[in-house]
Amino acid sequence: MRLRYRRRRDQLVAALADRAPHVHVSGIAAGLHAVLELPPGTEQSILQGARWQGLALEGLSRFRDPAAPPASRDALVVAYGTPPDHSFAGALDALLRALPAGE
């Protein structure tokens, strides 16, 4: 299973580098989630675009303490382990369509 999910993460990172180089993956290369660093002020609009694409993503802002000062970091939390194998490529393509055009 680790190898399967590592391949998915590698596919995600490669697709972002190719089609959305302004979006960076942060965090360690382990687990089932990736954090995608977004251009400032874009988290909510990208989440809306992802919903239109049929994706269920979370913004990093959802995980912040409400008492904390506003963060300047916009990001998505992507659970790349969730889609079944037969639909992973389609989900990845939908994610790329939801991201803003390169800067």
Domain positions in the chain: 2-64+72-98
Cα 53 to Cα 61: distance, rounded to the nearest angstrom: 21
* pLDDT, tens digit, 9 for 90 and up, residues 13-47: 999 999 999 999 988 888 899 999 998 889 999 99
Cα 3 to Cα 41: distance, rounded to the nearest angstrom: 35
Model confidence at 95: pLDDT above 90: yes
Q: Where are the alpha helices (DSSP H) in the chain?
A: 2-19, 43-52, 88-98
- Determine contact, residues 42/99, Cβ cutoff 8 Å: no
Which of the four CATH numbers 1.10.3720.10, 3.90.1150.10, 3.30.470.20, 1.10.530.10 does domain 2-64+72-98 have?
3.90.1150.10
User: Predicted confidence band at 90 (pLDDT cuts at 50, 70, 90)?
Assistant: very high
Distances from the Cα of 57 to the Cαs of 1, 10, 15, 52, 67, in angstroms?
22, 19, 17, 11, 23
